[in-house]
Each structure stands twice: as structure tokens, then as C-alpha cells.
Chains A and B, each alone.
Chain A
Amino acid sequence: MSEATTLFEKIWRRHVVRPETAETPAVLYIDLQLLHEVTSPQAFAELERRGLAVRRPDRCLATIDHSTPTTPPDADGEYAWHTDQARTQVETLYRNCARHGIELHGWDSPNRGIVHVMGPELGATRPGMTIVCGDSHTATHGAFGALAFGIGTTEVGHVLASQCLLQNKPRTLGIRVEGELRPGVTAKDVILHIIGRIGVGGGTGSVIEYFGSTIRDMDMEGRMTVCNMSIECGARAGLVAPDETTFAWLAGRPRAPAGPAWDAAIADWKTLRTDDGATFDRLVEIDAAEIGPSITWGIHPGMVIGIDDAVPAGERDALDYMGLNAGKPLAGEKVDVVFIGSCTNSRLTDLRAAAAILRGRHVASGTRVLVVPGSALIRRQAEQEGLDAVFRAAGAEWREPGCSMCLGMNGDIGRPGDLVVSTSNRNFKGRQGPGVRTLLASPLTAAASAVTGRVTDPRELMDQAS
């Protein structure tokens, strides 16, 4: 009876509507589907073509984030849409949500934000849930001990119509990180280091559980950053077992349970942990002391080095695209743009970290800096703390929330050849605009590079920070 099981297994079992058979995948119940404008229109159209209703509109939550401008509307309330098609896409989501009775956090909502920032902020993301979204960074919500993963548009339609998903059971990968992080090293450096270590396909077919003292000591924002990039090593999802840090973060959120229901929820959530003696299909162990500020140098997120390391040889195509010489460190390369934002690193703690470096300093001439908060709430909180004033005084652009330059769908892109230090999650060729070269790094490294206009180890500026 006392079979030791993993956290993943516990959540999986709670959601099996029909078990997997030799012929058919499991039918898995989905507690929450998050929706945005880009990957949903064809799913709604398919439902309408078939004459199907949305089964549980109360288990859907929508926002607009990917193709929305991050500049404020003009005096007439008009937004600077990048294309008419982008506007049509957002209008289509408004129409679909109204027709099907789905809660949409549109322009007027004080909670609008990047879908993976907004869900946790509303307390819509809670331990033990299954959560899907037509977006691969849905893994972010795993930071709360929720099984959360990205799906395609056809599957978005499946969940709209049935609140269920067909799933073959993934394998499990345990990643244990032990020890205290060194100064200047953040959750972003940890996950970049992990991806560099196991490779961009190292997690394929698996759900990762992150554990160990380093993870336990991280705040929720850090855990979200780690889980967010699970997909960049190919994993379906990332998980962290919920604990007191999780409960404290969720308490009082709009959708979090309250009163006796809260106590009952906590009692249940405390059972959501991997039992002693349970095994993962594979285990990777990492010593936090090995991790320094990490940065990508190439064209996928597995091409990672320490900021002091030399660019490695052997990847001709990546070196050609990036215009880099093997054997030379990245530090010192001229930086054209710095982007601080995205579902990976746009939360209040990220903005505070960047502001701590930028306070009393100025962005280097010839370097453009965009700071894009992850949600309207974060934007307000940052302004209450005066962080916006720090960014503006330093010469950075303080924008409206959205995905922005992470994928450049809304027109926030670099110029061909630009070198961008970005706190986002993907450095694929052309991701931030045709010919743009992306270096993924932490908010600290991004801010330090903004000040010097060169790729910079943040510890150089932190020592002098007032």
C-alpha cells in the first residue's frame, strides 16, 4: 500500500479519466486552460465548424499578450498595431471569449499580462492542478507543483470541447541542485547551466522535477524562471514540489481558496511531494557552486557558457550566424540592444535586480534598452517602488506589458546584425528579428551589459553597487 511515488505520478493519477491502454492514450482531465490570441483562433473555428460548445468556460482563462503593442495607446485610444492581422487576431479572441463566456483579461483589465505571469498572479495556478496552454512555456506553472505543459492548437480545441487531453505517460527526470548560489548567480543562470549540461534534447519525452536545497531556497519567481525553460531542453513540463514558500506566495490571491477551504487546500498540497524511496527514470545532480553567471553564445539555448568562458569551437553554423570567433570570451562584445522581459524574467524580483544595477547609472550610448514588465500588476508595483523612475533615468524604455521582443511578433524587434542581451528564453536564428543575434542571460547580466554597452559580468558592477 505504501508504494513510494513521484510528485508527477501523484498529479497524473488524480487526473486520469480513462487509463492508458495498449491501443489508446490516457484521457487526462485538465483543470485549467489558459488562452491567448495566437494559438486559439483556429481551435475556436474548429469547434464552431463542428457545432460544439466549450464544455467548461469556467475552466478557461484568456489574455492578450503575444501580438499586442507595448507602447501606450494614443490620445484617441488607438494602439500602434504592428499589422492589421495582429489587431484582427486580438479582436477574434475578444469575440470568441464573449461568445463562449470565457473570462478575458483584455486591454481594460488591471490583471492583463503575459499568460504565464498572469495565471499565478491571479492564484489561478495552484498545486496539484493540470494546466495547459497553446504555448510551450506553460511549463512555468510547474513552479507551483502543477503539471503544466504546452499543446498545439488542435489540442486546444480538444480541451475546449471536452476539458480533456489524450496523453501518453511521459518519463520522469529528476534534477537535484544542491548548495548556495554564489553572488551574482540567479535562477536564470541555474536553468541555463542545466540546459547547457543536458542539452536541448536532454529532456525529450520527460517531465522534470527540480529539487534540492538550491531550489528549496529559491523564491517563487526564481522557481518559475527555472520551470519556464524546461521546454528548452525538450521536456514536456517542469515541477517543483509545493512548500511554505509556495503557500505564502498564493495566500490572498484572487482565485486562491480562503477560510476553511484554504486550510484544507494546504493539508492536501502538503502531500504533493515525491516520496522517499521513489525513483525517477533518470537523475541528474548539479552542484550550485559550479554555476556562475551563464550566457548563451549560439543559436539554441543549449549553447551556454559561463560569462568568463571562451566561445567554444566546432559549431560552424552557429559561429557564422553569431559572427563570433571561437576561443574568445563573449565578455566585451558590443551590445546593441538589451531586452529585460518575457515570461522567463519579467517579474518584480527581476525588475528589482535590474534596477539595483541601473540605479544611479546610465545606459551606454549606442545601446537601446527595453524593460517590459510581465503584467499590468507588476507594472503598477514597480511604479509604486519607483523602479520605472530608475529605468527612465538610466535611459531605458519602460513599456506596457506583453511578450514583446521575446519573439518579436508585435514589431518589437532588433535590426539585422544587432547583438541583443535578452532575459528571454530562445536564441534561435531570427527569433528577435531577421538577422538579429540573441544572447540569453539573467536580468543582472542584461542590466550590467546595458550600462557598459558590452557583454558584462554583473559581479563587476555589483561590487560597486550603492
Chain B
Amino acid sequence: MSVTVIESRTFNLAVDNIDTDQIIPARFLTTTERAGLGQACFYAWRFNEDGSEKPANPLRDHRVADQAVLVTGENFGCGSSREHAPWALLDYGFRAVVSSRFADIFRNNALKNGLLPVLVEPAVADYLLAHPDLPVRIDIEARSLTIEGYGAVGFPLDAFSAYCLTRGIDPLDFILQGAADIDRYEQQHGK
């Protein structure tokens, strides 16, 4: 799957330190598949234990069809390394997450699945969180996030991730192209 530009609107969850147990609780991790996890996304925020919707569900007004950019507080995706977190967010309908800090493993996992982590300055995140439902345009090649009424800001994305995302290149293919290097390393180091 290749991604170059995401044009959508923002949806805000103005909470810091959203951990991957919130994104998808552990009891949904017994699956051996990766599809269909959207139902479990933010489960405890959306549903009571009997499956009824919580009155205070913060995603109640989320429009899946045109709000594909999630904006959150800082340190998004901390905690468990479960890749089910980006799988759940993607299956739910998000394509990018904007935050002023991402946890390392989440960021890695997201990039490997085509969910774009957009790291911005705290002031930019604060602006977005103060102005819900804004039209935004994310250009991966240009590494720019254009926010209606605010302007364009840059975001960091390593060259390799951008290359993989925009061309749909798989990182494993890249590693395996260097199989001769791996053979040589194993011989030289007695592994």
C-alpha cells in the first residue's frame, strides 16, 4: 500500500500519554489475525462491559468518513509494543496521528503499516486541539502538514520510511536484498 498525500479533517482526543492498552485492551490480543480490530479500538472509552455505548464516549461524534487524522496530546502510543494498536487505528479508519511526541515502538509500528505519525511542535498540537475538525493536507514527500487557517508546518520523517510509504516498498524486501551481507557477517563473526 502506498501513501503520498492525505487530505482529510482532524479529530481530537486531547489526552496526554494515551497508552496502547487504551488504544486496544489486552483482552483483544488473543487474535491470530490482523484484520477486524477497529471494533476494539479505544474499546473501554467507547463501550461499557455489556457492549452498550458509554454516554461519555469521546469518539461518539467522530465521522469516520472524513476525519481520518487523529490529533492527540503528547506521548501517544506509550506502553506495550503491541502492533495491534496501529492495526486497530487503521481498521477503525484513521490514516494519520498528529502529536507533539510519539512513543518509539508505536511510531515504528505505525510506519510499518502505513499509519502516518506526524510529529509537530507543541504549539501546533495546541492549535489543532483548540480548533477541532479542521481540514488538513499531509504531504509525505514534502513532509508538510498544511492546516487551514494556520498554514503549513514541517514534520520529521526519515528518508527510508518516506520512501517505503510513498512507493509501497516493503522493508523486509530491502533487508533481504542484502542477504549476501548477512551471510558475510555471520561468517566473519562466527554466528
Tell me if B66 is interfacial: C-beta within 8 Å of chain A.
Answer: no
Pair A162/B175 contact, Cβ less than 8 Å: yes
A85 and B103 alpha carbons, distance in the complex (Å): 29
Pair B21/A204 contact, Cβ less than 8 Å: no
Q: Which B residues touch A408, using CB under 8 A? A: 26-27
Pair A201/B19 contact, Cβ less than 8 Å: no
Interface size class of A (residues with CB under 8 A): 35 or more
A429 and B17 alpha carbons, distance in the complex (Å): 11
Pair A85/B31 contact, Cβ less than 8 Å: yes
Q: Which B residues touch A83, using CB under 8 A? A: 30
Pair A431/B26 contact, Cβ less than 8 Å: yes
Q: Which A residues touch B82, using CB under 8 A? A: 38-39, 152
A125 and B137 alpha carbons, distance in the complex (Å): 47
Q: Which A residues touch B155, using CB under 8 A? A: none
Pair B75/A234 contact, Cβ less than 8 Å: yes
Pair A166/B104 contact, Cβ less than 8 Å: no
A162 touches which one: B75, B101, B176 (CB < 8 A)?
Answer: B176
Q: Which of A385-408 touch B at CB < 8 Å?
A: 407-408
A352 and B64 alpha carbons, distance in the complex (Å): 53
Pair B26/A166 contact, Cβ less than 8 Å: no
Tell me if B108 is interfacial: C-beta within 8 Å of chain A.
Answer: yes
Q: Which B residues touch A430, using CB under 8 A? A: 21-22, 25, 44
Pair B30/A29 contact, Cβ less than 8 Å: no
A48 and B86 alpha carbons, distance in the complex (Å): 22
Query: Interface digits, B92-118 against A, CB 8 Å rule (1 contact, 0 not)?
Result: 000000000111110011001100000
Tell me if A276 is interfacial: C-beta within 8 Å of chain B.
Answer: no
Pair B49/A152 contact, Cβ less than 8 Å: no
Asked if A434 meets B44 with Cβ closer than 8 Å, knowing A39-B81, A168-B158, A428-B21, the reply is: yes
Tell me if B33 is interfacial: C-beta within 8 Å of chain A.
Answer: yes
Q: Which A residues touch B104, using CB under 8 A? A: 170, 204-205, 234, 236
Tell me if B29 is interfacial: C-beta within 8 Å of chain A.
Answer: yes
Number of CB contacts from chain A to chain B under 8 A: 165
Task: List the A residue with the shortest CB-CB distance to B159.
Answer: A23
Tell me if A10 is interfacial: C-beta within 8 Å of chain B.
Answer: no
Task: List the B residue with the shortest CB-CB distance to A91.
Answer: B32
Shortest Cβ distance from residue A31 to the other chain B in the assembled complex, whole angstroms:
7
Q: Which A residues touch B160, using CB under 8 A? A: 23-25, 166
Pair B29/A409 contact, Cβ less than 8 Å: yes
Of the stretches B2-10, B138-146, B179-187, the one at the interface is B179-187
Q: Which A residues touch B163, using CB under 8 A? A: 23
Task: List the A residue with the shortest CB-CB distance to B44.
Answer: A430
Tell me if B65 is interfacial: C-beta within 8 Å of chain A.
Answer: no
Asked if A38 meets B81 with Cβ closer than 8 Å, knowing A27-B181, A161-B172, the reply is: no
A236 and B108 alpha carbons, distance in the complex (Å): 11
Tell me if B154 is interfacial: C-beta within 8 Å of chain A.
Answer: no
Task: List the A residue with the shortest CB-CB distance to B161.
Answer: A25
A337 and B15 alpha carbons, distance in the complex (Å): 29
Pair A317/B15 contact, Cβ less than 8 Å: yes
Q: Which A residues touch B15, using CB under 8 A? A: 317
Pair A426/B181 contact, Cβ less than 8 Å: no
Q: Which of A124-144 touch B at CB < 8 Å?
A: 134-136
A455 and B143 alpha carbons, distance in the complex (Å): 50
Pair A27/B29 contact, Cβ less than 8 Å: no
Pair B179/A407 contact, Cβ less than 8 Å: no
Pair A163/B182 contact, Cβ less than 8 Å: yes
Pair A151/B178 contact, Cβ less than 8 Å: no
Q: Which B residues touch A429, using CB under 8 A? A: 21-22, 44
Pair A45/B185 contact, Cβ less than 8 Å: no
Asked if A155 meets B108 with Cβ closer than 8 Å, knowing A409-B29, A430-B21, the reply is: yes
Pair B32/A201 contact, Cβ less than 8 Å: no
Q: Which B residues touch A42, using CB under 8 A? A: 32-34, 83
A285 and B179 alpha carbons, distance in the complex (Å): 43
A302 and B17 alpha carbons, distance in the complex (Å): 10
Q: Which A residues touch B25, using CB under 8 A? A: 430
Pair B75/A204 contact, Cβ less than 8 Å: yes
B26 touches which one: A14, A136, A153, A409 (CB < 8 A)?
Answer: A409
Shortest Cβ distance from residue B160 to the other chain A in the assembled complex, whole angstroms:
5
Tell me if A292 is interfacial: C-beta within 8 Å of chain B.
Answer: no
Q: Which B residues touch A409, using CB under 8 A? A: 26-27, 29-30
Tell me if A193 is interfacial: C-beta within 8 Å of chain B.
Answer: no
Pair B182/A136 contact, Cβ less than 8 Å: no
Q: Could you list 6 A-B pairs, sorted by A, with CB under 8 Å? A: A17-B185, A150-B105, A151-B105, A152-B109, A158-B171, A430-B21
19 A-B pairs besides A24-B160, A67-B30 with CB distance below 8 A are A23-B160, A24-B159, A38-B30, A38-B82, A42-B33, A85-B32, A88-B30, A134-B81, A136-B79, A152-B86, A152-B109, A161-B175, A164-B182, A166-B174, A166-B175, A201-B103, A204-B102, A428-B79, A431-B21
The 7 closest A-B pairs by CB, nearest first: A152-B109, A152-B83, A41-B32, A150-B81, A85-B30, A136-B81, A153-B83
* Chain A residues in the interface with B (C-beta under 8 A): 14, 17-18, 22-25, 27, 29, 31, 38-39, 41-42, 45, 50, 55, 66-67, 83, 85-86, 88-89, 92, 134-136, 150-155, 157-158, 161-164, 166, 168, 170, 200-201, 204-205, 231-232, 234, 236, 300, 302, 317, 407-409, 416, 426, 428-431, 434
* Chain B residues in the interface with A (C-beta under 8 A): 15, 17, 19, 21-22, 25-27, 29-34, 44, 49, 74-75, 78-83, 86, 101-105, 108-109, 112-113, 158-160, 163, 171-172, 174-176, 178-179, 181-182, 185-186, 189, 191
